[in-house]
Amino acid sequence: MIETLKLEKAFGYRQALKSTTLTVDAGQVVALAGPNGAGKSTLLRILATLSRPTRGRVAINRIEIPEGAMAARANIGYVGHQTLLYDELTVYENLRYYARLYAIDKSDARIREVAKQVGIEKRLTDTVRTLSRGYQQRAALARALLHRPRVLLFDEPWTGLDQNSSSVLNAIFENARQSGITVLFSTHEFERSLNAVDRALILRNGKIVYDGAKSEWNDAAGFAQVYAEQMGARKV
């Protein structure tokens, strides 16, 4: 569902990604860990078609990007550090805008369905700017789910979430797995995020230095040990 081959991204003389090769199958929930500056956000933005790679191959649901970026976007739900919502519009108005953008049939019913899924059905008439950070994040999740994407990409999705909102996110991950939807998300909050995953990657200096199934580390403490070992490894 997600494929990269020798993917590279340079910003001037700085190499943010270096020959990154990755495959994530349908229905997998995969965590992407690494220190600040490792390239996590850059990788997710390329996969979300928001940034162009310098070189290498990228495909989402077998659609090559950036050439097929428009078609690929119908398969992608993305939540980054910005909500991509209009602050002065209500939650409902924002979701209706995106429903029209994706030509969603019976959009009112779908809006109310995703609003209920993320627990904001009673906040649809509130303007985005009046919402707490946690509820803004829930609204962004509703936006990402609205068009029933096959791939969900999240950049540090636990940021600003309270315990209830974290439970909503975990439920989304579990529902995605059962529905054959692929999830790739970056995280540094191991305790909150690793219960729901099948697999974890560690990105360091723009390269994937670890790719392991959950059975290799079992829990957050086990992964923290793996992470510490990789951060202490020789430079790549």
Share of the chain above pLDDT 90, in %: 86
- Residue 48, classified by CB atoms within 10 Å of its CB into exposed (0-12), middle (13-18) or buried (19+), is buried
- Distance of alpha carbon 65 from alpha carbon 71, whole angstroms: 9
Token pair 């919502």 is at which residue?
Answer: 85
Task: Give yes or no for a contact between 69 and 11, defined as CB atoms under 8 angstroms apart.
Answer: no
Q: How far apart are the first and last CA of the chain?
A: 28
Stated pTM of the model: 0.94
User: 57 in helix, strand or coil?
Assistant: strand
Segment 101-127 shows an average pLDDT of: 96
Domains of the chain: 1-75+152-236 (3.40.50.300), 81-148 (no CATH)
- Distance of alpha carbon 20 from alpha carbon 194, whole angstroms: 23
Residues 6+ apart with CB under 8 A from 214: 194, 197, 198, 199, 200
pLDDT of residue 193: 87
Task: Give the pLDDT confidence of 91-109 residue by residue, as tens digits.
Answer: 999 999 999 999 999 999 9
Task: Give the pLDDT confidence of 174-208 residue by residue, as tens digits.
Answer: 999 999 999 999 998 898 888 889 999 999 999 99
Q: How far from 14 is each of 44, 123, 160, 220, CA to CA, in Å?
A: 18, 43, 30, 32
